[in-house]
Structure 1
């Protein structure tokens, strides 16, 4: 798909300036587009900027990230040397501020920009951005980067009119001190639960964890090494190939392997915790927590059955008939995309997919209809999205690769397939995710990791997988740079590797090669100690 005019003549609006929007502004600017980023808050950084506002999601300041910093950073801007493998949310926010300053992006940002609607002008083919205050603005292209946590999923709890305590979503949890001496019931079991439970320990009088399914809980370190060391590009490629041949066998093998890591790290699981059967990583997001199982074992957190109904001012009846008393119920039930600022015909979440919604694991969440979970089916030449792609890696890296791909397609350096092929990809994606939702509760944005990575590698023009494959580029790279080849194939899966090579598309980073070598050498030195 070729750009109709030179990129520097084309204006792009990026809506949302969390990490995804910030990197989109930078990658589009590098291709010569005239970019403006809009953010409804008076700050950048999205969830990484702590706020006391209970109607706004933010990570707790002392929350540790669950992806190592070598994979959790952008591709051309590493964390400062000496940053812990798993840093705090405050360090993440500082990192984003430093990134903005380093690339001189702040002049491109418009904060306190509360958008009412983004509408497509049929006559001019421009996007009209309407604000709550002030005049509308017009752009040639539009990137929506409001992220996957735009709207909390709040369950309907039977009998809530009888309950005299507080019912809140996890989004509203800011300080453990607000719950001192209270009996707290946590509903749901995901990554948020581990953080909130740890914060409440020693503050709340009782902590109950109500859930209905098993869970895969993993530590940040396995055998003294960050958990990311368990995977290499070679292993991922082999897994993808075996999955193509023997999908059920490889799924069972991966699930059993993850369960073994969980039990080896935390010891045998008490059946009363209701953590088994441990689900496949394909149909659930692993909970990364170093303390949740310890808190269950010590009794600080009490695992109970699924929520049934409120039966009194403080009484809750669980699905197994047990009754407990609570002063506060915190629903740790996740989030969903909200793309409703768009007109219905351009909102990729507006179409109802029966096979998805009928599957119990969908939980009523929308399933975006996007090519590669990035490009609009209706107008891919002017509308794209960030925050609709997920597999187990850093969100910053995914947004970087996706926005590089957007920039290259819109600059005319990469092409998308014809409309029929794009629709076919979406149809297959719907079938795949709907099938997973019959077995568990997958992320609607989940994509096959190696398949999507191959597409992004080619579209963005990183040149990595060609040099690690069987083609002539692979053989030349293996012969001439054996040490780096081994690091990329069997070493750390670093973000920087995607900026090493110059394929005439996305801009390479001159420091990428040295960064990959440094990180791998440091890891090797630590393992010999």
Structure 2
């Protein structure tokens, strides 16, 4: 067994937002970690590219404010807009890689050919090459003790099988390859989907496409990025999270209803015309317990102006440029469109998470529950058996995934904490006390998690990565050693912190729920970030000053 973390070689596959923070947190704990990235740059989808890999559009604007969408110990620059364009996020990720000196530990332009498990020696053999099509002579095999797949969720497109598609003579593409809206000048485009990507794509086509149809089978809550002059996520505080946690534990239906009414109020205030246009079929929307709202400032104005037309879901293709849609409501005749030049699928991704790189025998979703796949809400996506949606049940001491957990929180924060937890669990330093439970207990937990998500899939679409937010955060807080729950809870440590630091306590619990909260407290497992308190105070003061200015 390794005597210290520096003796443990860890491979991190992917150098996007999830891979960068994972690599950084492993290096911070002293691991001998190496990142691998098939592209020539870090930052993943946040760098706009014209190739056929997933990337943002130049017009993409973040759905999360910079105050809540940053990493735990690296704020955005002060001059970055609160709700910024994608180019700012790319700049932020490049700065993150430079600040923490990650680039020397990342192998760019490196394709992963295969990952093989060596059970006899408890190792992982990774076959890498300069390109995916490189010859065997150019392939190199590197051996690691541990492996983290951080390729993210937006890699392999999910495209539904549509009857008659082979008869369509127009262009068919997935949002992954939708890069230049101007290329669709004077085209009639059928956008399939109702999520944030579908909304952004339809809006981006305005002023270019001749007609824009938005085809969807269910409704959605449409939320603006701003509410009462501030980002809608600035109203979330640690106290509010605590109340929500208690309600979800003791009165889950009441908690869901309150959250839904809150979202409904924001939607109706921003877009009152929604209820004047039932033909848009945005209501009823799936429960916010299992799906995320669509965030768009311009989708509803586009529908109001007629630049975007809401139509029922795509049922089949009936000719070179014609499609049949679902009936608008029960008893109606199916709708038909005879002028479609382009079908743009904004239907998400398979959520492979890099698992297809593994040998089938170690693939965490190799035995996906047939009951899950039989439910319409699963949409045929695999359901992996992962403890806490992070650790492989077969090899929890050496195989983990970033991107397999999801709930309503910024991804940068979530996977910063998740990778901190992995670093603690896998560490062998004297200060490390995080451990995983026995295999039987982990199996039981996964069974319960899958039973929970299957219930949601019976009533509508659900993300396979969905997990119980507050239960997961409590586990990650303990495993990562962030000490947040202890210091802001109601135990002796919490009361002691409150009595000694009342002003700071109030700021942490009533101010904006910032990721820096997870770096402010030292613990026996990890050091605090010295700049956490200053960053939290400065950020809250800046937001307070901005509100005062707007009121004047």
Identify the TM-score tier after normalising by the shorter chain: over 0.9
Structure 1 partner of 2:350: 336
Aligned-partner Cα distance in 2 for 1:122–1:428:
29
Q: Is the 8 A contact 1:502 1:508 kept in 2?
A: yes
CA drift at 1:278: 2.5
Structure 1 partner of 2:42: 44
Aligned-partner Cα distance in 1 for 2:374–2:253:
23
Q: Structure 1 residue 289 and structure 2 residue 296: aligned?
A: yes
Structure 1 partner of 2:252: 247
CA drift at 1:4: 4.4
CA drift at 1:221: 0.7
Aligned counterpart in structure 1 of residue 9 of structure 2, from 8, 11, 33: 11
Structure 2 partner of 1:88: 85
Q: Structure 1 residue 63 and structure 2 residue 60: aligned?
A: yes
Structure 1 partner of 2:425: 409
Secondary structure in structure 1 of the residue aligned to 2:30: coil
1:105-160 deviations in whole A, cap 9, x for unaligned?
Answer: 11101011111111111221111001243220001111110111121101111111
CA drift at 1:355: 2.9
1:160-211 deviations in whole A, cap 9, x for unaligned?
Answer: 1221101111111001111000000001111111211111101100000000
Q: Structure 1 residue 451 and structure 2 residue 467: aligned?
A: no
CA drift at 1:268: 3.2
Aligned-partner Cα distance in 2 for 1:268–1:64:
23
Q: Is the 8 A contact 2:2 2:8 kept in 1?
A: no
Structure 1 partner of 2:518: 498
Q: Which segment is superposed worse, 481-490 or 451-460?
A: 481-490
Q: Is the 8 A contact 1:279 1:440 kept in 2?
A: yes
Q: Is the 8 A contact 2:365 2:383 kept in 1?
A: yes
Q: Structure 1 residue 98 and structure 2 residue 58: aligned?
A: no
Aligned-partner Cα distance in 2 for 1:481–1:355:
51
Aligned-partner Cα distance in 2 for 1:5–1:340:
33
Aligned counterpart in structure 2 of residue 183 of structure 1, from 158, 181, 188: 188
Secondary structure in structure 1 of the residue aligned to 2:208: coil
Secondary structure in structure 2 of the residue aligned to 1:35: strand
Q: Is the 8 A contact 2:290 2:466 kept in 1?
A: no
Structure 2 partner of 1:515: 535
Q: Is the 8 A contact 1:259 1:278 kept in 2?
A: no
Aligned-partner Cα distance in 2 for 1:273–1:127:
51
CA drift at 1:352: 1.4
CA drift at 1:307: 0.7
Aligned-partner Cα distance in 2 for 1:207–1:37:
41
Q: Structure 1 residue 481 and structure 2 residue 521: aligned?
A: no
Structure 2 partner of 1:261: 266
Aligned-partner Cα distance in 1 for 2:315–2:57:
29
Q: Structure 1 residue 138 and structure 2 residue 143: aligned?
A: yes
CA drift at 1:317: 1.4
Q: What does 1:113-512 correspond to in 2, within 5 Å?
A: 113-132=110-129, 133-269=138-274, 270-320=277-327, 321-324=334-337, 325-338=339-352, 339-412=355-428, 413=432, 414-512=434-532
Secondary structure in structure 2 of the residue aligned to 1:151: coil
Aligned-partner Cα distance in 1 for 2:207–2:398:
52
Q: Is the 8 A contact 1:62 1:90 kept in 2?
A: no
1:71-106 deviations in whole A, cap 9, x for unaligned?
Answer: 111111110012111111111111111111111111
Aligned-partner Cα distance in 2 for 1:491–1:355:
43
Aligned-partner Cα distance in 1 for 2:172–2:522:
53
CA drift at 1:429: 0.8
CA drift at 1:456: 0.8
Aligned-partner Cα distance in 2 for 1:293–1:464:
40
Aligned-partner Cα distance in 1 for 2:415–2:254:
31
CA drift at 1:345: 2.6
TM-score normalised per structure 1 = 0.97
Aligned-partner Cα distance in 1 for 2:494–2:543:
25
TM-score normalised per structure 2 = 0.93
Aligned-partner Cα distance in 1 for 2:391–2:190:
40
Q: Structure 1 residue 79 and structure 2 residue 71: aligned?
A: no
Number of residues paired by the alignment?
Answer: 526
Mark the runs of 5 or more structure 1 residues left unpaired by the alignment.
none
1:17-74 deviations in whole A, cap 9, x for unaligned?
Answer: 1111111111101111111100111111111121101x21101122101011111111
Aligned-partner Cα distance in 1 for 2:141–2:435:
31
Q: Is the 8 A contact 1:285 1:443 kept in 2?
A: no
Aligned-partner Cα distance in 1 for 2:173–2:3:
50
RMSD across aligned positions (CA): 1.3
CA drift at 1:480: 1.2
Aligned-partner Cα distance in 2 for 1:230–1:426:
33
